[in-house]
Amino acid sequence: GAGVSQTPSNKVTEKGKYVELRCDPISGHTALYWYRQSLGQGPEFLIYFQGTGAADDSGLPNDRFFAVRPEGSVSTLKIQRTERGDSAVYLCASSLRELAESYNEQFFGPGTRLTVL
Amino acid sequence: KQEVTQIPAALSVPEGENLVLNCSFTDSAIYNLQWFRQDPGKGLTSLLLIQSSQREQTSGRLNASLDKSSGRSTLYIAASQPGDSATYLCAVTLDRGSTLGRLYFGRGTQLTVWP
């Protein structure tokens, strides 16, 4: 596709359930990022993939959060034992590459709005 | 830790005014700075990206400047229109090790342009 896509657009779940959020980056983009945006706040970094590996997962809030990118394209953010505080918009972004000569411009998807009841 | 601050938090102006949105950051060792626009319930649209070696970038009615040493950037919107109403976010990446790439965001400026 032409841009970053995310599914589902909305997810409502109950406290304690497991959820998966999917991100399809722009074709050919090797870098992929997950951010979380709470109401009235700017997005906060969660995890960054370069290819298949997580180059920086320091933003994951705790071990209930996990993300994978097994083939270096699509990524899945997984949240176990969801809590009400996990409610937020989860944004995915991709960029062409991360090198000194690259502008590293990030392109964002529309986000997944997660509501934990 | 990089802290990004945006002033004002909200701005409401009549159509046609020229606007200035401010962004400041605490760690001047940045790789680049991006300005984004976010419409309600939508994702982020990149407006301008300024490399750390650049002073400004222009796109149409938008002009962004960067003063890296003082930790400041300004987004200038000329001849504002109601369609410019949105939240404007400033974000930086650090020029350092594994943090290269992750964006540090401000909380945004919510702009309303009324006809």
**A53-56 and A5-7 strand pairing:** unpaired
SS3 B31: strand
Q: Report the alpha-carbon distance of residue A8 to residue A93 in Å, rounded.
A: 15
In the predicted model, what is the mean pLDDT of residues A87-104? 78
**Mean pLDDT within A91-114:** 81
Q: How far apart are CA A101 and CA B1, in angstroms?
A: 25
The rounded percent of chain A whose pLDDT value lies above 70 is 93
Q: Where are the beta strands (DSSP E) in chain B?
A: 4-7, 10-14, 19-25, 30-38, 44-51, 56-59, 62-67, 72-77, 86-94, 103-105, 109-114
Q: What pLDDT is recorded for position A99?
A: 58
Kindly state whether B108 is in contact with chain A, defined as any CB-CB distance less than 8 angstroms.
yes
- What pLDDT shows up at residue A90? 98
Distance from CA of B115 to the nearest CA of A (A): 25
Q: Which residue of A has its CA nearest to B100?
A: A98
**Helices and strands counted in chain A (H then E):** 0, 11
Span B36-88, pLDDT tens digits: 999 988 889 999 999 899 999 999 999 999 999 999 999 999 999 999 999 99
pLDDT of residue A2: 78
**What is the per-residue pLDDT across A39-85, written as a single tens digit (0 to 9) for each?**
989 999 999 998 898 888 999 999 999 999 999 999 999 999 999 99
Q: Are strands B109-114 and B10-14 parallel, antiparallel or unpaired?
A: parallel
Q: What is the mean pLDDT of chain B?
A: 93
Question: How far off is chain B from A78, nearest CA to CA, in Å?
Answer: 20
CA distance B72 to B91: 11
Q: Which contiguous run of DSSP H or E holds residue A51?
A: none
Is the pLDDT score of A12 beyond 80? yes
Instruction: Compute the distance between CA of residue B85 and CA of residue B12 in angstroms, rounded to an integer.
Output: 9
Residues 6+ apart with CB under 8 A from A48: A31, A32, A33, A34, A54, A55, A56, A57, B101, B102
Task: Report chain B residues whose CB lies below 8 A from the CB of A55.
Answer: 98, 101
Higher-pLDDT residue of B89, B1? B89
Structural Rg of chain B based on CA atoms? 14
